[in-house]
Structure formats: C-alpha cells, structure tokens
Structure 1
Amino acid sequence: MFLLNSNSDYRRPLDPRDAEILGLEAAAAVERHLAFRENHAETPLLALPGLAAELGVGSIHMKDEGHRLGLGSFKALGGAYAVIRLVLDEATNRLGRAIDISELHSSHVRNTAETMTVACATDGNHGRSVAQGAQLVGARAAIFVHSGVSDERVAAIARFGAEIIRVDGTYDDSVRQAARIAEEKGWTIVSDTSWPGYERIPGLVMQGYTALVREALRAMPQQPTHVFVQAGVGGIAAAVAGHMAIAFGDRRPTFIVVDPARAACLFETARAGHPVTVAHGEPTVMAMLECYEPSLIAWRILSRVADAFMTVDEDNAISVMRRLADPAGNDPAIVAGESGGVGLAGLISAVGNPEIKKALSLHGQSRIFLVNTEGATDPGKYREIVGLSPAAVAAKARTGASQ
C-alpha cells in the first residue's frame, strides 16, 4: 500500500517543542554525550553501488546500526541516553548545581542513580538500551516484555542486570502495564512512545537518534534526495525526518515512512489524518516494528515532514535480509535483522511499481539514504531465515572489505 501525505499539517513548520528536541544544538549535545561513553564509535555508512545500478537509482548509502554501542541496534542511542539525562537532571536538582555529562562516573551521580528505578516496555532493542543505561549509572531497571519477545532477546536484556516482567498480549499491552505499575511503585518510565501528558522522556529518546543522522550526513558525498526509514511507533522515522527538515529546510530530501503491512499504525494514521490504533492480527516477522498505536510526538512530526507512507509484506522483509547477506557485485555484505532492512524493502517495492516510482520522482540520479536499524539481535532467528549465521555473513563482509 502507498499513500502520499495529504494531511492538513503537511509542510507546516515543526512544532517549536519538536524543533528544539531534534535541532542542531540538541544533536550536538547528544554527540558530546557519546564522547563520554567508553564503547562509543561511529557506525559505518556503506555505499551499495551494485544494488543502486540494479534498482536504477544514482546511489544508495546505508547507515549500519548493527554495530552501535555493543547492542546491535540504533536504539542503543535512545534509551540509555534518556536514562543518563534523567539521572543527571535528578543529581542537578539534589545538589543545586548543574551536573555535566563529564561527571557521569562521579560518586554523587552514582549515589543519585542508586535511588532510582527506570522501567519500560520493549520488543527487545529499546529495553536493552534502557537496561544498559541503568547499569552504566548504577540505577535499577525493570523491563516489561510481551509474549512475542523471543527468549534470546529477553536474555540479552537480563544480562545488564534488569528485572524482567512478563506481560501477556502485545507490545501495546506491555506499554500500558508498564505505565500502570511504574506509577504505583514510583518508578520512572523511559518509553520510546508517547501519549497525552507524557512527551519529554520519549523526546529525549528520539533526540538520541539524531546522532546517527549527523554521522551519516558528514560521511555522505552528497545530500540524499530520498530517505526510506522503517517505523514501529515512529520514533526513528520522526527523528531522521525532523532533523533533516531542520538541517536542510526547503531543500530537505523526500521522506518515505515504511510500515509492516501487519502492523501499519502510521500508514493507517496517515490515511485517517489522526492517530489510530490498528487491530492486532497475525504477528509480523518484523518483530521490532510490531506496534499497533503510533507515538503522538512521532505523528506530530511526521504529519508535517513525511512525504509518503507505504507498507511492505513479510516476504519483502525476508528477501531483503537475504539480499543484504549475499549482495550484488562488490557491495559489502550486511547483517540486517528482521526489521533492519525494511527501509530498503520499501525502496525496492517503490522502484518496482511505475506509479509509486513516478509519484516519488525516483530516477537514475536519485541518491537514497537508508538505515539498517538492527543487526542479528536474535541470531538463531537470523540463521533460520538467511541460511547463514551472523558470524558467517560478518566474515564475508570483512573479506570483501579487505579485497
């Protein structure tokens, strides 16, 4: 399914709150924060000229977040950043002076963190980031996981010392239960989705994602003309689209939001013109995108700066995982999890449909930017789908890079 943005807010300026969250000054602050993270390194921006020639576009660049901060997902940038910011803010309030990120490992920051419990619901990746951030500063973490989260992903969260709380139902059920229990116990919810009255913390999570955009734009030889980014509740799509709208103004790229057809909450929200909850049906293989209700902040941003919304099917996502693992020509092999390459799946579907291709003005000079949002965060599932282990594909990528 494909839909051009026809909402009344389309092309209006960003809400001032969102412009502040995703602006250049905020993004610079995120990068300064990362400089104090011991295992931080910029993730690679990979050129895919073979695939670009095959699809009939000028260039394709993919930011590979499978290497981010040891967590294998772009979400490493969001949850942990929000936790650290909240702890620094609380320490500032208690000590009566501004506490800088350079004091992250000080005793007064740790003493503050030890009195705090952060909580969230997760499909896997966000919970891991929140748990990592809590461990880093010495706070307690309680992570709510729904029945669709694999045991391997749960174990990856628990390794950071988080308490795991199981919830029957969907991701959205776990969000509601996390909010209810956190309120009862006085815990701080660090959610990557927002609802009425709860915006600041999801805004900090999204702010963390701007780092990957800054890194990518510095590395790209030219500004992209088109950006395809996958969406669950919409946080990563809104962060990329919003920051690029601020950075480029009227020259911003054409931005396309890509949803799983089985959990198309942003597509249906765009069609309705207001936030909607879609029915829960058969689960999608794109597990990290299996969300049935959009983030209100994300929709407020995307209603203004997304140009189109589309969906992809299960086979599209699986095909892209295999295609990136066994690339065209001399392109590097890329380990992309079930949700990682969905933006590329959207691009392939778009160029394969003459009407969509024309509507988006895709042609031989188009410069495409994509984000591989996750590596193999469930290695067993990855091997089952691709037929190779993540390690085997990564070895192939290293061999190609050395040639």
Structure 2
Amino acid sequence: MFLPNQHPDYRKPLAPVDAETLGVPAAEEVERYLTYRDNHAPTPLHTLPVLAAELGVNTVHIKDEGFRLGLGSFKALGGSYAVIRLVLEEASRQLGRAIDLAELHAPEVRAVTAGMTVACATDGNHGRSVAQGAQLVGARSAIFVHSGVSDERVAAIARFGAEMIRVEGTYDDSVAEAARVAAEKGWIVVSDTSWPGYERIPGLVMQGYTAMVREALRQLPSPPTHVFVQAGVGGVAAAVAGHLALALGDQRPVFVVVDPARAACLFESARAGRPVKIEHGEPTVMAMLECYEPSLVAWRVLSRVADAFMIVADEDAVAVMNRLARPAGRDPAIVAGESGGAGLAGLMRAVADPEIRAALDLNEASRVFIINTEGATDPERYEELVGMRPDAVTNSTRRADA
C-alpha cells in the first residue's frame, strides 16, 4: 500500500524547535561529541550498481549502520548522545557552572553522574545505546523490555551493567511502564518516542541520528534524489528527512517512509491525518519496528517533510536480508538485520508497481539512498532467516575484495 502525503502541513517549514533540533549546527555539535568516543568511525556507504540496474535507477547507495560504535545499529547515535547531554546539564546545574564535554570524566562530574539513573523501554537497539551511554559516564541504567524481546538482545543490553526489567505485553506497554516506574523512583526517562509533555529528550535522541546523515552527504558523490527510510515510532525517519530538508533546501530528495504491514502506525496516521494508535496484532519479523503509536515529535516533522508513506510485508523484509547477503555480480554482501533492510524493501516494492514508480518519479536518473539501520543484532535469528551466519556473509565480502 502507498499513500502520498496529503496533510495540510505538507511542505510547510518545520516548527522552530524541530528546525533547531535537526539543523546543520546541531548535527555538527553531535559530530563534536562523537570525537570523544573511543570507537567512533564513520560507517561504510556501499554502492550497489547491479541492483540499481535491475531496479531501473541510476544508483543505489546503502549506509551500513551495522558498524556503528560497536552496537550494531544506528541507535547507538541517539540514546547515548542524549544521556551524555543530560549528564552534562545536570552536572552544570549542581556545580553551578557550564560543564563541557571535555570535563565529562572529571571527578566532580563523575560524582554527580554516580547519583543518576536513566531508564527507557526498548525493542533492543535503543536500550543498548542508553545502557552504553550510562556506562560511559558512570550513571546507572534501568531498561524495560517487553515479552517479545529475545533473550539474546536482553543479554546484549545487560552486558553494559543495566538493570533489566521484563514487562508483559508490547513495546507500547513497556514504554508506559518505564514512565510510571521512573516517575516513582526519580529516574530520567531517555525515550526515543514522545508523548504530550515529553518531547525534549526524544528530540535529543533524534538529534543524535543526524550525524549519520552528515556522514552520508560527505560520502555520496552527489545528493540523492530519493530516500527510503523505515519507521517504528518514526524517530530515524524524521531525523533523516528533517535534516535533509534543512541541509538541502529546494534540492532535497523525495522522501518515503516505510512501515511494516503488521505495525504501520505512521502509515495509518498519514491516512487519518493525525497521530493514531493502532491495534496490536500478529508480531512482525521486523522486531525493531514493531511499534503501534508514533512519536508526536516525529509525526510533527514527517507530516511536513515526508512525501509519501508505504508498507512492506514480512516476506519483503526477509527477501531483502537474503538478497543483501547473497548479492548479484560485484555488489558487496551486506549483513542486514530483520529491520535493517525495510527501506530497501520499500524501494523494491515501489519500482515494481508502475503507479507508485510514476508517483515518485523513479526513473533511470534516480539516485536512491537507503539506510541499513541494523546488522545482525540477534545472530541466531539472522541465521534462521538467511541460512548463513553473519560472519560468513562478512567473510564473503572480504574474499570478493581480495
């Protein structure tokens, strides 16, 4: 299913707070923060010429966030960045002077952070980032996971010293429980979704994601004409679309938001013209995108700068995982987790449908940008769906490059 953006705010300027959050100066500040991370390095940008030819477009470039900061997903940029920002703000308040990033590990700052606890709900990736950020600064973390989060993903978060709290129900249930418990205990909620009265911290999380867009714009030979990005609550889609709109202005690309068919909260919000919570049904294989209510901040951005919304089926996502693992010709092999290739699945659906292709003006001159938002964050599940271990896929690329 495909839906052009028909919201009354479509193509209107971003709200001032969102323009400040997602603009170029803010993204440059995020990049400055990253220079203080020991394992920071730009993630790869892959060119897939054989796939582009098959799809009838000029180029397909994929930004591979499976290599981000040792956490395996783009979310490494958001949660930890927000935690660091919040710690510096609290230290500045308690110490009575402005504390810069260079002082993050000073004894007096560490004394402040030792008394702080950050909390969040997660499907896996965001919680890992928040927990890592807390460990980096010496704070405590409490991470709430719903019943659908695999034991392997829970263990990957717990290794950063987080207190893990299981919640019955869905991701949205874990969000509500995290907010309730944090309010009782005086913890700081570092969520990647927003609700009425809680917008600034999710905005900081989204701001963290802009760093990968800055990297991509430097890596791309020319700006993209089309961008397909997957959405859960919408944070990454809004960060990418909002930053590109601000950075490129009239030259900004056509932006398409891709939802899982079984958790299409942004698609249904676009259809309704307002944020809506959808019913929980059968779980989607795209576990990191299994969200049933959009972030209010993300919706506010996307209602203005997204050009279209579409949905893809579970089998589309699994087919992309396999295609990227076993590429044609000299295209590189890429490890994409269950949610990582959903944007590419959207592109493949779009080019196969003449009406959608025409509506988006996808043609032989189109330069398409995709983000592989995660690698194999659950290697056992990856092997089950692809039939190969993630390291076997990676090694096949090394052999091809040798």
Aligned AA for 1:17? V
1:104 CA displacement:
1.9
1:102 CA displacement:
1.4
Deviation readout 1:45-78 (Å, 9 max, x if unpaired): 1111111011110001000000000000000000
Match of 1:46 in 2: 46
Deviation readout 1:306-344 (Å, 9 max, x if unpaired): 000000001000000000000121011000000000000
Match of 1:111 in 2: 111
Runs (4+) of structure 1 exceeding 6 A deviation are none
Match of 1:99 in 2: 99
What is the alpha-carbon distance in structure 2 between the residues aligned to residue 278 and residue 210 of structure 1? 28
Aligned residues: 402
Match of 2:353 in 1: 353
1:43 CA displacement:
0.3
What is the alpha-carbon distance in structure 2 between the residues aligned to residue 234 and residue 345 of structure 1? 17
What is the alpha-carbon distance in structure 2 between the residues aligned to residue 351 and residue 198 of structure 1? 39
- Listed as ranges, the matches of 1:92-241 within 5 Å are 92-241=92-241
Change over 3 Å in CA distance of 1:103–1:263 after alignment to 2: same
Match of 1:17 in 2: 17
What is the alpha-carbon distance in structure 1 between the residues aligned to residue 369 and residue 103 of structure 2? 36
- Listed as ranges, the matches of 1:5-84 within 5 Å are 5-84=5-84
1:401 CA displacement:
2.8
Among all aligned residue pairs of Structure 1 and Structure 2, give the percentage whose two residues are the same amino acid.
73
Q: Tell me, yes or no, if structure 1 residue 280 matches structure 2 residue 245.
A: no
1:98 CA displacement:
1.1
Match of 1:321 in 2: 321
What is the alpha-carbon distance in structure 2 between the residues aligned to residue 396 and residue 111 of structure 1? 48
What is the alpha-carbon distance in structure 2 between the residues aligned to residue 40 and residue 104 of structure 1? 17
Q: Secondary structure at the match of 1:198?
A: coil
What is the alpha-carbon distance in structure 2 between the residues aligned to residue 324 and residue 305 of structure 1? 29
Structure 2: state its 5+ residue gaps. Answer: none
What is the alpha-carbon distance in structure 2 between the residues aligned to residue 104 and residue 333 of structure 1? 39
Deviation readout 1:207-232 (Å, 9 max, x if unpaired): 00000000000010011000000000
Aligned AA for 1:231? A
What is the alpha-carbon distance in structure 2 between the residues aligned to residue 29 and residue 228 of structure 1? 26
Q: Please tell me the root mean square deviation across aligned C-alpha atoms, in Å.
A: 0.5
Deviation readout 1:357-384 (Å, 9 max, x if unpaired): 0000000010000000000000000000
1:350 CA displacement:
0.1
What is the alpha-carbon distance in structure 2 between the residues aligned to residue 28 and residue 398 of structure 1? 33
What is the alpha-carbon distance in structure 2 between the residues aligned to residue 57 and residue 251 of structure 1? 18
What is the alpha-carbon distance in structure 1 between the residues aligned to residue 109 and residue 235 of structure 2? 28
Q: Secondary structure at the match of 1:203?
A: helix
1:35 CA displacement:
0.1
Aligned AA for 2:86? L
Q: Secondary structure at the match of 1:12?
A: coil
User: Could you tell me the TM-score, scaled by structure 2's length?
Assistant: 0.99
Q: Secondary structure at the match of 1:221?
A: coil
Structure 1: state its 5+ residue gaps. Answer: none
What is the alpha-carbon distance in structure 1 between the residues aligned to residue 222 and residue 59 of structure 2? 10
What is the alpha-carbon distance in structure 2 between the residues aligned to residue 216 and residue 380 of structure 1? 30
Q: Secondary structure at the match of 2:259?
A: strand
Q: Secondary structure at the match of 2:284?
A: coil
1:265 CA displacement:
0.1
Q: Secondary structure at the match of 1:127?
A: helix
What is the alpha-carbon distance in structure 1 between the residues aligned to residue 14 and residue 322 of structure 2? 38
